[in-house]
Structure 1
Amino acid sequence: MKQLHLIVTILSGLLLGAQSFNYRDRKDWGKNFPVCSDGQHQSPIQMVPDSKGEFPMYGTGGQIFDFNLLPDEIIMTNNGYTVELKPKWSEDTPRVTGGPLKGTYVFEKTTFHWSKYKGNGSEHTLYNEKTKKNFEYDMEMQMYFYKQEYKTFTKARNQKGGLAVFVNWLRLHEFWKINLAMGYPSNIRPPQALNGREIKTVQFTAKGHY
């Protein structure tokens, strides 16, 4: 069994409409879209570990299934806001369950976030107590899952707890400019307030075809 330590963001749904926002005005999203400033489900966030550089463990672990199954097809799209990879499987689709997740979540797509500056492209940041600075990466990969009971991503996205997002940080050997909507070179949002949320480490165990 392989074990993974991942950061999971559970979303309440209510994503911004694809044509209703842009990253030039990202600091004003809370004014223009109240859902982006209210509640306890905003992301990205700044993660501040304890004095040992660690986070407390979540009480129960989770399971990931069939993450080693290659898709039959992958569709890559630049939608003007991100680069999106949407795979398709003819058999089992990767899924996650357990830990803080209430139910089973099915993998839907992967998106990417970056800055025009190398080393400053991850949305979520990790605070380093020694340097008193945030540790950031070149790019952030976000893996979207929808709750299985809602059958589709479209139905789940507007439900409380309908989506879960796994975040992975990436280092790049080469750096390219990708044109986004309105010519903006970056698609990262500043870290949002935790609003009382506690960050914990969840231990995931791989099962199925892995």
Structure 2
Amino acid sequence: MSGGNWGYDAHNGPEQWHKTYPIASGNAQSPIDIKSNEAKTDGSLKSLSINYSPGSIKSIVNIGHSFHVVSDDKENASVVKGGPLQGTYHLNQFHFHWGPSNDFGSEHTVNGKGYAAELHLVHWNSDKYASFAEATKNPDGCAVLTVFLEVGSAHPGLQKVVEALGHIKTKDQQAAFTNFDAASLLPASLDYWTYFGSLTHPPLLECVTWVIFREPIKASADQINKFRTLLSGGEQQCPIVKNNRPPQPLNGREVKASF
């Protein structure tokens, strides 16, 4: 398995990643199982300040194991600050993780329970670093806002994303995707857990302050099923059936709660 050939199948999936990326066995890997009764309420945690600009969203692209909705880091930037974060973090992209069925597709779990899917809004510390790539090399480089999806009524904000997937069926296909308010994908309550961890897929760098919202959003089974209609790259175009890494050991890290 070379650096570019990782995936989520038995031969190249999460159990194999440590062979190419030794950090996969590191002490601060993500995702984790959040044990709510062990999370410590931290009164010093400030409220999050989320200022998302629909003008920052530019395109949607199939990256072979998921899809990214890309945000412009500079022009009309979407930003988050406050909470556990020191400084301002710019939205770089957002993407989803899912499993082979809607029973369990999230990466993080809560008290051992998974959700149908999981949204990651990926930000980088623009106060300290010149680029997203540079930020990923530093412990305070990135922040990922995380939203669980559970099956219920169709989500109006998600629908525009789902409809765009028809334009990016195969790897490296890209389409314009503009004037989208990423804040429409956030839950009503912004109560959150937070901990320090890593990117959940290679290169698995330990550079992420995770902010995981306690309250999930609802999406219809049809909406989530559409994720699995995307095709991965390679000689055979196979549906992206799953792209979720299982929870990793906490290794003594502290999970804090804002509530």
TM-score by length of 2: 0.61
Say what the alpha-carbon RMSD is for the aligned residues: 2.4
**Per-residue CA shift, 1:172-196, capped at 9, x if unaligned?**
3112322234535210011000010
**Per-residue CA shift, 1:17-36, capped at 9, x if unaligned?**
97242112211222331111
Query: Structure 2: which amino acid aligns with 1:48?
Result: K
More divergent stretch after superposition (106-115 vs 23-32):
23-32
Which structure shows the higher strand fraction?
Answer: 1
Contact 1:73 1:89 in 2 (8 A): no
1:75 to 51, 59, 63: 59
> Does the alignment pair 1:47 with 2:34?
yes
**C-alpha spacing 1:188/1:65, structure 2 compared with 1 (3 Å):** closer
Query: Structure 2: which amino acid aligns with 1:34?
Result: P
**C-alpha spacing 1:90/1:118, structure 2 compared with 1 (3 Å):** same
Q: Which residue of 2 aligns with 1:6?
A: none
Give the whole-Å Cα distance in 2 for the aligned partners of 1:121 and 1:187. 8
Q: Which residue of 2 aligns with 1:135?
A: 113
Report which structure shows greater RCO (CA 8 Å, sep ≥6): 1
Sequence identity of aligned pairs in percent? Answer: 28
Q: Which residue of 2 aligns with 1:21?
A: 6
Contact 1:95 1:107 in 2 (8 A): yes
Q: Which residue of 2 aligns with 1:170?
A: 149
Deviation at 1:91, TM superposition (A): 5.0
Deviation at 1:111, TM superposition (A): 1.1
Give the whole-Å Cα distance in 2 for the aligned partners of 1:36 and 1:166. 21
Contact 2:73 2:92 in 1 (8 A): no
> Does the alignment pair 1:102 with 2:86?
yes
Query: Structure 1: which amino acid aligns with 2:116?
Result: D
Q: Which residue of 1 aligns with 2:138?
A: 159
Query: Structure 2: which amino acid aligns with 1:188?
Result: N
Contact 2:56 2:71 in 1 (8 A): yes
Give the whole-Å Cα distance in 2 for the aligned partners of 1:32 and 1:141. 26
Aligned residue pairs, count: 176
Give the whole-Å Cα distance in 2 for the aligned partners of 1:165 and 1:72. 17
2:129 to 134, 139, 150: 150
TM-score by length of 1: 0.74
Contact 1:80 1:181 in 2 (8 A): yes
